[in-house]
Chain A
């Protein structure tokens, strides 16, 4: 009976070609994943360098009666010590003893190394009893060989980078023993496997939603953004980007405001002691790119509960205090909520940061979902643009860009919706429009308020002139309310600015305009790469240009209409769609010309990045929609699925760089 039931269900299921395709695909991708992981197993980075050795000069041979004693501080947990021994010319005899002690003098591990086995290759010594915590330690090196001629020496390096000193028979030396500290675990392997598995699950889910359940695109958008976003939360450690920590301090500052904690006397942000420790140590990492060391740092620093909640002055000022920035509370709102909730729950620093990033991801995913739902044209464009690696990186990082992207997409969707409405918009829709306008105007110095030029494509019969005027006024009012003091303040530094390279843009518009044009020509590849994720913002993580190009191509395909079906934009509409793009380019270059003038040359205005144009990017693709070049068949879902596949390839590409030797 049961067997018959299963048989009938299976036969029904197999009549569905999409389901069969899914099963085949799932099996193939699972096999590929297993194959990839089993092949990569030996090549995945398994160690993080806690202290870098720099072997410079060999010491005198260490014979019996001489003891080298090196104190040092580890800035992370470690379970391996690397030393460089120096064999003498004649055959080595006897043994060299290395012993590691805690600062209080308890022996941790003792190693005996036969001198005859010593070569110039580094020696990696494994600690007994697992990893040791960060802290102060002492290492002694001695020998039982009485003859210096047959004893081995050890390599030294200049300068006490270990916050310790070397003593030979009690006498302080100028050099230190060259010590490398390592943490060796399977973290890299677990990260790679976990992220790739998650990405494959996202891929399978996308297939199920698009082809089997045929879920509404806006719901699919939320699921995909959340799924891939979760992967990006782990692909990029919290402190990846250069200015992440400035944003962290700023979010912390706003969170303090909510909790009623004032700044200290010198205007710096008060922080919990444990959070400050994490901040200081994490920020001191020399490498700002995602790498196994950063993952280890995060892993090392991770604790569910905050160990020390005492408030201390951080010595850091936030962007709010600096007063010349584009960082309002609105732009950081999801992150402020996350961090504050985390602090109220007494979570540790890393869980708090993760919570802040996660809540931002949820908020932006919902905003994009609604944007996809609202727009009658270009739903797939909005979805695919929000799935590009740079967009995902920005909405999962500590940054003020994510919320601005969300509001911009929402505003564009509403304007396009109103453009093709036949009747007057409802009060609810208008209020939603006002909210998007206010939100966008409150982010990034209000620079994306130029999107309000889209009001011109909306017929007056749908949105009255008064309503348009009021929306415009609200946008300007919000920008001034949040940034008026920045734009109009009587600045104390006004008289001391360095002269601009080409003079004031108002006095020399042609020269400055030419510099803008030459910058565009010179950096077009950088801008395109930055817009679609080849270059991940400030971090120097990159994905291959072929992938970026494929993303661009796929978004272009979905921006076309299917067999010329309406609605399409008129020529006048397209001219209006182009205006915000033009304004945004102008504003970006103007701001960078004035703000980063010291780095600009006559031919190149420095500092403009491709991601600045993301909020107006949907408009460029909407302009592509025409009646002449059209899709003969509706292949947009297949294109979305293909895009998700490329996204997984981008994961492979990123993780290959970060985790594989």
Chain B
């Protein structure tokens, strides 16, 4: 394997003749880091679902649903503590959640929960090296084995199951 030093040597920067200030290469680390952060894609680039397919959408949804579920969980713990105030306190709090808005919010939570669970199991299996394909000599056009139909199917299944669970939840809550 070629050493990185050789590669650095091979690849010179073809700069124009009017170049005034050249990058000092091994310059100060903090300076290089600050410059890198200036060109970092940031949260917008982290999301960027348009350029990288359904796997990137799943990555982003996993984060959003995780944060949403944590927020709901904290709210749920606070909500259920109203039982300590007796029947009056419990019924008062229950009345707030038993509204159309409350039911829709709960349906969204159900959807988030199902997606996070199903996709989480898929990701966990992937993290264990399950279903990511086998290492082999790659052939052009280099279709990555880890981005296979099994994982795509897992993502679509998570989305479909989340939608079904939301609809079922709405049916139960609205007494259809």
A binds B: no
**Interface residues in chain B, defined as those with a beta carbon under 8 Å from any beta carbon in chain A:** none
